[in-house]
Chain A
Amino acid sequence: KAGVTQTPRYLIKTRGQQVTLSCSPISGHRSVSWYQQTPGQGLQFLFEYFSETQRNKGNFPGRFSGRQFSNSRSEMNVSTLELGDSALYLCASSLRTSGNTDTQYFGPGTRLTVL
């Protein structure tokens, strides 16, 4: 079974631009969560989508948004990029069937560099 895939793997943008990252979950998984990983802040939860609806949201500004499609694929968008948005963005998928015991499976991440 194919794992979680993320595209692109690397991205370079300049301040003020916007960016869209894509995530395809494991087949059959309907929940997709996004995380930001930086050396200073570590791994931080951005948001989770299930059945095309945002179910949970972390403490990030409104510049960070996402959506989920009917095939469970998800995209996240960051508008008006800032230097501090440089990070590894990780996507994770899960079945979301058994409460907080579900395992999340992670993709390889998208490395975003903002110049």
Chain B
Amino acid sequence: GNSVTQMEGPVTLSEEAFLTINCTYTATGYPSLFWYVQYPGEGLQLLLKATKADDKGSNKGFEATYRKETTSFHLEKGSVQVSDSAVYFCALSPLGSQGNLIFGKGTKLSVKP
């Protein structure tokens, strides 16, 4: 079946530190991959996406590359800010199945000044 595995949180970093949140997936064929972010009391916001192997999604300094060979989509940012504190979700949209996102458990990030 289809599934997403994210690194367990919470993750606590100091401002300007480097961030990596690991995400691996299991799926048939070529799913599309997404990172969403959820701030306290809010819904999910799309952070970035990649729809085919070797695609790199990027937004607001965050990046993730679709690696078919390792079935991974790790999220990275070179220098985090306090305002990046949130919960990050990795998700996949299976091939042949629209409107159905499969999410990882989420990783809570706290950035300290």
* Interface of A toward B, CB cutoff 8 Å: 4, 31, 33, 35, 42-45, 48, 50, 55-56, 58, 90, 92, 94, 96, 99-109
Residue picked from B44, B99, B103, most chain A C-beta under 10 Å: B99
Among all A-B residue pairs, the 5 with the closest Cβ atoms: A48-B99, A43-B103, A106-B43, A100-B93, A106-B44
Main secondary structure of the interface of B (DSSP, over half): loop
Chain B contributes a number of interface residues (CB within 8 A of A) equal to 27
24 A-B residue pairs with Cβ-Cβ distance under 8 Å, sorted by A, are A33-B100, A33-B101, A42-B103, A48-B98, A50-B98, A56-B98, A56-B100, A92-B44, A94-B99, A96-B98, A99-B95, A100-B31, A100-B51, A100-B93, A100-B94, A100-B97, A101-B32, A102-B98, A102-B99, A104-B46, A104-B99, A106-B45, A108-B43, A109-B42
B44 contacts which chain A residues (CB < 8 A)? Answer: 90, 92, 106
Contact A103 B99 (CB under 8 A): no
